[in-house]
């Protein structure tokens, strides 16, 4: 299976301007055992928590499944020590923000995890003003 | 200490190299110090960037690539890899990276050169390696996670020998689950290549390897004013994705 490593990018054109497309810029571990790059999923929901700690930041999002049940997704992001250098802070992602997320689904049955994610507002625009939406992936 | 000037080549039975190519664009670099200070002592000091701008990011095939420089494992090593379960890898409990992985971790590194030692400070896992260049040798009391490092300058390069590592279940490569033993011996050669810092890392471990394995890589100068940031691994964050691994054993 082709293993993809997605890179985070950031717009820093002005103070507070941030790019919001997050993926593990530098990985604590390989994504392949955890996430299936061939199984891309999309969902929309509301941010409930943003954990900004090394080795990985995590974003938690409540979304409704097809049956209307609330599912709490866990989105794995890059290392905060690197994300900070692209403008991210613990306040970059705020609880209550509605977002659209597309990413690689976690492998373990019955889990709701994602990596290598594309995160935007519901209309596809960056989450913060002035940010760019950008995704890069480097095949390995 | 070794006396031969051909150490860097002669010790390696099978050498594979991995040299990163320069990316298309780079952030402004700190003023690169002169490549050689004086008397054959290279100027290695400074903050160095080992991230994606300098070299391909580590993974299952980086820096150890199958068919190229992947270690030739003996039966013991192959058996360990066969039964290895990613979920028990110590890094998920914030166990620090060690040689030969720590030299390739995609974060910043700082080198400080003192008269009797060279300090390597790694952003990843907040690690410090001290290379003693005053003739000291390790004793039986000097086993540690990072081992005991001694070195010398020769021909505009710093040569480092590290032994006295404790056993590490993923101590050779934590992407492929290759362990390392107390017999691990890591040889490093650091030199300046223009504005870059380069290293060849060679690993011997007869407990698991049939012959030495090696890679060569580089760091680029970090942007001016760069400082290492604290990593402060959070145990919960480290283990947060374990539940996404399909269980290997019941």
Number of domain units in chain A: 1
Q: Is B76 helix (H, G, I), strand (E, B) or coil?
A: helix
Q: How far is A85 from chain B (nearest CA, A)?
A: 10
A53 — contact with chain B (CB < 8 Å)?
Answer: yes
- Quote the mean pLDDT of chain B: 87
- Given this model, what pLDDT does residue B22 score? 38
Q: Which residues pair with A103 in a beta bridge?
A: A41
- Given this model, what pLDDT does residue A127 score? 75
Which of A55, A57, A73 to mutate: most B Cβ within 10 Å?
A: A55
Which of B59, B238, B244 lies closest to A30 in CB terms?
A: B59
Residues of A in contact with B61 (CB under 8 A): 140
- Given this model, what pLDDT does residue B38 score? 57
Residues of A in contact with B244 (CB under 8 A): 34-35, 106-108, 111, 113
Residues of A in contact with B56 (CB under 8 A): 138
Q: Which residues pair with A63 in a beta bridge?
A: A45, A71
Q: Which residues pair with A43 in a beta bridge?
A: A101
What pLDDT, in 10s, does the model give residues B15-35? 444 433 333 334 444 444 445
Beta-carbon contacts of B130 under 8 Å, excluding residues fewer than 6 positions away, are B117, B118, B119, B120, B149
For the segment B175-202, the average pLDDT, to the nearest whole number, is 97
Q: Is residue B122 within 8 Å of B105, Cβ to Cβ?
A: yes
Residues of B in contact with A115 (CB under 8 A): 241
A49 — contact with chain B (CB < 8 Å)?
Answer: no
Kindly provide the ipTM of the predicted complex, given to two decimals.
0.80
- Given this model, what pLDDT does residue A32 score? 86
Which of B237, B249, B250 to mutate: most A Cβ within 10 Å?
A: B237
Q: How far is A93 from chain B (nearest CA, A)?
A: 17
Which of A3, A25, A84 lies closest to B59 in CB terms?
A: A3
Range(s) of the domain holding residue A60: 4-139
A44 — contact with chain B (CB < 8 Å)?
Answer: no
Residues of B in contact with A106 (CB under 8 A): 241, 244
- Given this model, what pLDDT does residue B189 score? 98
Q: Is A85 helix (H, G, I), strand (E, B) or coil?
A: helix
* CATH number for the domain harbouring residue A41: 2.40.50
Which of B51, B174, B175 lies closest to A26 in CB terms?
A: B51
Q: How many Å apart are CA B84 and CA B81, to the nearest integer?
A: 5
> What does B6-20 look like in DSSP terms, one character per residue?
THHHHT-SS-----P
- Given this model, what pLDDT does residue A9 score? 40
What pLDDT, in 10s, does the model give residues B78-133? 999 999 999 999 999 999 999 999 999 999 999 999 999 999 999 999 999 999 99
- Given this model, what pLDDT does residue A1 score? 38
Spell out, as residue ranges, where chain A has pLDDT lower than 50: 1-25, 132-140
Residues of B in contact with A29 (CB under 8 A): 86, 89, 91-92, 174-175, 241
Q: In this complex, do B86 and A33 lie within 8 Å of one another by their Cβ atoms? A: yes
Q: How far is B232 from chain A (nearest CA, A)?
A: 7
Residues of A in contact with B104 (CB under 8 A): none
- Given this model, what pLDDT does residue A128 score? 64
Q: How far is A75 from chain B (nearest CA, A)?
A: 9
Higher pLDDT, A10 or B229: B229
Whether the full predicted model's pTM is greater than 0.90, yes or no, is: no
Report residue B174 CA to chain centroid gap: 12
Q: Is residue B93 within 8 Å of B233, Cβ to Cβ?
A: no
Q: Which residues pair with A52 in a beta bridge?
A: A57
Q: How many Å apart are CA B47 and CA B110, to the nearest integer?
A: 4
For the segment B201-209, the average pLDDT, to the nearest whole number, is 98
- Given this model, what pLDDT does residue A27 score? 60
Q: What are the Cα distances from residue A140, in Å, to A35, A88, B57, B61, B198?
A: 15, 26, 10, 8, 23
Beta-carbon contacts of A60 under 8 Å, excluding residues fewer than 6 positions away, are A47, A48, A49, A50, A51, A72, A73, A74, A75
Q: H or E segment at B169? A: strand B168-173
Q: How far is A122 from chain B (nearest CA, A)?
A: 26
For the segment B195-199, the average pLDDT, to the nearest whole number, is 98
A108 — contact with chain B (CB < 8 Å)?
Answer: yes
Say whether the peptide bond before residue B100 is cis (omega within 30 degrees of 0): yes
Beta-carbon contacts of B84 under 8 Å, excluding residues fewer than 6 positions away, are B169, B170, B176, B177
Beta-carbon contacts of B179 under 8 Å, excluding residues fewer than 6 positions away, are B77, B80, B167, B168, B169, B170, B171, B172, B208
Which of B51, B233, B247 lies closest to A55 in CB terms?
A: B233
| Neighbouring C-alpha atoms within 13 Å toward the C-beta of B8 | 21
Q: Domains in chain B, ordered, with CATH?
A: 36-222 (2.40.128.20)
- Given this model, what pLDDT does residue A30 score? 77
């Amino acid at each position: 299976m082709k293993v993809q490593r997605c890179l985070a990018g950031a717009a820093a054109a002005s103070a507070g301007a941030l790019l919001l497309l997050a993926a593990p810029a530098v990985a604590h571990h390989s994504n392949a055992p955890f996430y299936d790059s061939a199984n891309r999923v999309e969902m929309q929901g509301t941010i409930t928590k943003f954990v900004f700690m090394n080795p990985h930041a995590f974003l938690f999002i409540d979304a409704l499944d097809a049956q209307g049940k609330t599912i709490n997704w866990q989105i794995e992001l890059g290392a905060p020590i690197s994300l900070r250098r692209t403008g991210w802070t613990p306040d970059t992602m705020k609880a209550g923000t509605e977002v659209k997320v597309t990413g690689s689904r976690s492998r373990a049955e019955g889990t709701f995890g994602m990596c290598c994610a594309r995160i935007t507002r519901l209309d596809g625009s960056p989450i913060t003003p002035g940010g760019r939406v950008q995704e890069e992936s480097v095949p390995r | 200490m070794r006396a031969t000037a051909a150490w860097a080549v002669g010790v390696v039975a099978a050498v594979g190299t991995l040299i990163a190519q320069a990316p298309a664009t780079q952030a402004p670099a700190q003023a690169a110090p002169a490549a050689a200070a004086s008397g054959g002592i290279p100027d290695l000091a400074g903050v160095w960037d080992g991230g994606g701008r300098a070299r391909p990011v580590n993974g299952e095939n980086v820096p150890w690539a199958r068919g190229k420089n992947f270690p030739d494992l003996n039966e013991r090593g192959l058996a360990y890899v066969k039964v290895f379960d990613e979920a028990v890898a110590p890094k998920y409990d914030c166990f620090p990276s060690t040689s030969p992985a720590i030299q390739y971790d995609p974060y910043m590194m700082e080198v400080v050169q003192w008269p009797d030692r060279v300090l390597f400070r790694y952003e990843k896992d907040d690690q410090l390696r001290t290379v003693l260049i005053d003739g000291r040798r390790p004793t039986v009391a000097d086993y540690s996670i990072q081992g005991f490092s001694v070195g010398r300058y020769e021909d505009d390069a710093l040569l480092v020998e590290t032994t006295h590592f404790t056993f590490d279940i993923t101590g050779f490569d934590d992407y492929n689950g290759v362990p390392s033993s107390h017999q691990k011996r890591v040889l490093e050669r650091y030199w300046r290549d223009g504005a870059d810092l380069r290293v060849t890392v060679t690993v011997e471990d007869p407990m698991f390897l049939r012959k030495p394995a090696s890679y060569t890589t580089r760091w680029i100068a970090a942007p001016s004013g760069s400082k290492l940031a604290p990593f402060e691994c959070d145990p919960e964050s480290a283990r947060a994705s374990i539940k996404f691994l399909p269980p290997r054993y019941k």
